[in-house]
Structure 1
Amino acid sequence: MQPGREPAKSARATGSRKARADGGADTLANAIANPLAIVSGGSSGIGLACAVQLAARGCRVALLARDAARLAEAAAAIRRGHPAAQVVCQPLDVRDAGACAEAVDTLVGRHGPPAWLINSAGIAEPGLFLDQPLAAHEAQLATNYLGSLYLSHAAARHMAAAGEGRLVFVSSGAGLFGIYGYSAYAPSKFAVRGLAEVLRVELAPLGIGVTVAYPPDTRTPQLEAERRTKPEVARRLAGESGEWEADAVARKIIAGALAGRFAVAPGLPTAFVNLFHSLIAPLLRARQQQLIRAIGSHRPDD
Structure 2
Amino acid sequence: MLLLIAGTCLVAFVLLLYMLSPLISPKPLALPGAHVVVTGGSSGIGKCIAIECYKQGAFITLVARNEERLLQAKKEIEKHSINDKQVVLCISVDVSQDYSQVENVIKQAQEKLGPVDMLINCAGMSVSGKFEDVEVSTFEKLMSINYLGSVYPSRAVITTMKERRVGRIVFLSSQAGQVGLFGYTAYSPSKFAIKGLAEALQMEVKPYNVYVTVAYPPDTDTPGFAEENKTKPLETRLISETTSICTPEQVAKQIVKDAIQGNFNSSIGSDGYMLSSLTCGMSPVTSITEGLQQVVTMGLFRMISLFYLGSFDNIIRRCMIERTKYGTADKTA
Fold agreement, TM-score > 0.5: yes
Alignment of 1:115-194 (within 5 A): 115-194=117-196
Distance 1:207 1:185 in 2: 32
Residues 229 and 300 in structure 1, CA contact (< 8 A), matched pair in contact too: no
Q: Give 1 or 2 for the bigger CA radius of gyration.
A: 2
Distance 2:241 2:210 in 1: 37
Q: Provide the residue aligned with 1:23 in structure 2.
A: 26
| Structure 1, gaps ≥5 residues long | 8-19
Higher RCO (CA < 8 A, seq sep 6+)? 1
**Identity level (%):** 33
Q: Provide the residue aligned with 1:86 in structure 2.
A: 87
Q: Provide the residue aligned with 2:44 in structure 1.
A: 45
Q: Deviations over 1:89-127 (max 9, x none)?
A: 000101122211111122122222100000001100101
| Structure 2, gaps ≥5 residues long | 1-15, 282-301, 324-328
Superposed displacement of residue 71, structure 1: 0.1
Amino acid corresponding to residue 278 of structure 2 in structure 1: F
Aligned pair count reads: 284
Superposed displacement of residue 23, structure 1: 3.4
What RMSD, in angstroms, separates the aligned Cα atoms of the two structures?
2.1
Q: Provide the residue aligned with 2:330 in structure 1.
A: 299
Superposed displacement of residue 76, structure 1: 0.2
Distance 2:142 2:332 in 1: 22
Distance 2:17 2:311 in 1: 34
Residues 164 and 206 in structure 1, CA contact (< 8 A), matched pair in contact too: yes
Amino acid corresponding to residue 70 of structure 2 in structure 1: L
Distance 1:132 1:254 in 2: 34
Distance 1:136 1:243 in 2: 25
Tell me whether 1:288 sits opposite 2:312 in the alignment: yes
Q: Deviations over 1:232-281 (max 9, x none)?
A: 11111111111000011000001111122110111111111111148366
Superposed displacement of residue 82, structure 1: 2.4
Is the alpha carbon distance of 1:35 and 1:2 closer, same or farther for their aligned partners in structure 2, counting shifts above 3 Å? farther
Amino acid corresponding to residue 80 of structure 1 in structure 2: K
Amino acid corresponding to residue 250 of structure 1 in structure 2: A
Distance 2:28 2:166 in 1: 16
Residues 228 and 300 in structure 1, CA contact (< 8 A), matched pair in contact too: no
1 or 2, which has the higher helix percentage? 2
Distance 1:43 1:241 in 2: 27
Residues 2 and 22 in structure 1, CA contact (< 8 A), matched pair in contact too: no
Superposed displacement of residue 194, structure 1: 1.0
Amino acid corresponding to residue 57 of structure 2 in structure 1: G
Amino acid corresponding to residue 169 of structure 1 in structure 2: F
Amino acid corresponding to residue 26 of structure 2 in structure 1: G
TM-score (ref. length: structure 1): 0.88
Q: Provide the residue aligned with 1:246 in structure 2.
A: 248
Q: Deviations over 1:68-96 (max 9, x none)?
A: 00000000001123274410000010112
Is the alpha carbon distance of 1:300 and 1:27 closer, same or farther for their aligned partners in structure 2, counting shifts above 3 Å? farther
TM-score (ref. length: structure 2): 0.80
Superposed displacement of residue 66, structure 1: 0.1
Superposed displacement of residue 292, structure 1: 1.0
Q: Deviations over 1:115-142 (max 9, x none)?
A: 0000001100101110111111111111
